[in-house]
Amino acid sequence: MSKLSVRCFSISLDGYGAGPNQDLANPIGVGGKALHEWMFGTRTFRQMVRQEGGATGVDDDFVARGFENVGAWIIGRNMFGPIRGPWPNDDWKGWWGDNPPYHTPVFVLTTHPRASLEMKGGTTFHFVTDGIHAALTRATEAGKGKDIRLGGGVETIRQYLRARLIDEMHVAMSPIFLGSGESLFERLDAPKLGYECSKHVYTPYATHFIITKRA
């Protein structure tokens, strides 16, 4: 049975999953890139960006597991790009170039319709305008029994948490403060929603938490 999972989602010591003021120069908001330093030196990440070398070990294991058994993705519009409001045209095709790292169907939550966008490497972006449940239904069908990875951003994950639709989350806390931005757990009562931390692992670069939904 497929699961809806959050994997390799980085937050700061003060709980922010993105910095403020997202734009073309700051895809994860100002300061947000530093949240992901723990993964940049891993072998799996370096292979993804067509570089040699990289470290193995716990951090690399988490990055590698993040892509295992994934049949489809769900992401929010902010994760797809910095454009707000109606799409001015079809020129923007994401942050990742012609061959995005997903290699599966990707369902983008938005309130503005847009035709599906087929990219190289097996990635097709589908734009879903009828909400989180519809996106999950479509992703589950497209995933053909594999897991669905919920990629973010912060508000997208919060919506799925409030609806108790996430089965498991891997959150990596980086040893930095952002001071402001988008808070992942602010005003969310995770225990009341049925979530608990089932595992945590420390490395020199991050603290990894596995958060699961109680049956």
User: pLDDT tens across 2-33, in order?
Assistant: 999 999 999 999 999 999 999 999 999 999 99
pLDDT at position 88: 94
* Three-state secondary structure call for residue 215: coil
Q: How far apart are CA 170 and CA 166, in angstroms?
A: 11
Residues of the chain falling short of pLDDT 50: none
Q: How many CB atoms are located within 10 Å of the residue 53 CB?
A: 8
Query: Counting beta carbons within 10 angstroms of the beta carbon of residue 8, is it exposed (0 to 12), middle (13 to 18) or buried (19 or more)?
Result: buried
How many other C-beta atoms are found inside a 10 Å radius of the C-beta of residue 15?
16
49 contacts: CB under 8 Å, gap ≥ 6: none
Q: Which of 65, 153, 68, 71 is nearest to 109 (CA)?
A: 153
Q: What is the pLDDT of residue 215?
A: 79
Question: Cα 157 to chain center, whole Å?
Answer: 8
- Kindly report, residue by residue over 196-207, the tens digit of the pLDDT: 999 999 999 999
Q: What pLDDT score does 176 carry?
A: 98
Closest of 66, 39, 68, 67 to residue 54, by C-alpha: 39
Q: Is the dihedral of CA 59, 64, 28, 190 positive or negative?
A: negative
Q: Write down the pLDDT at residue 166.
A: 98
Residue 11: its pLDDT value, please?
98
d(C-alpha 153, C-alpha 158), whole Å = 9
d(CA 145, CA 71): 7
How far apart are the C-alpha atoms of 101 and 56, rounded to whole Å?
20
Domains defined along the chain, listed by start: 4-84+97-205 (3.40.430.10)
Ordered strands of the 117-118 beta sheet: 117-118, 124-128, 105-109, 70-76, 147-152, 4-11, 168-173, 207-213, 195-202
Bridge partner residues of 10 (DSSP): 172
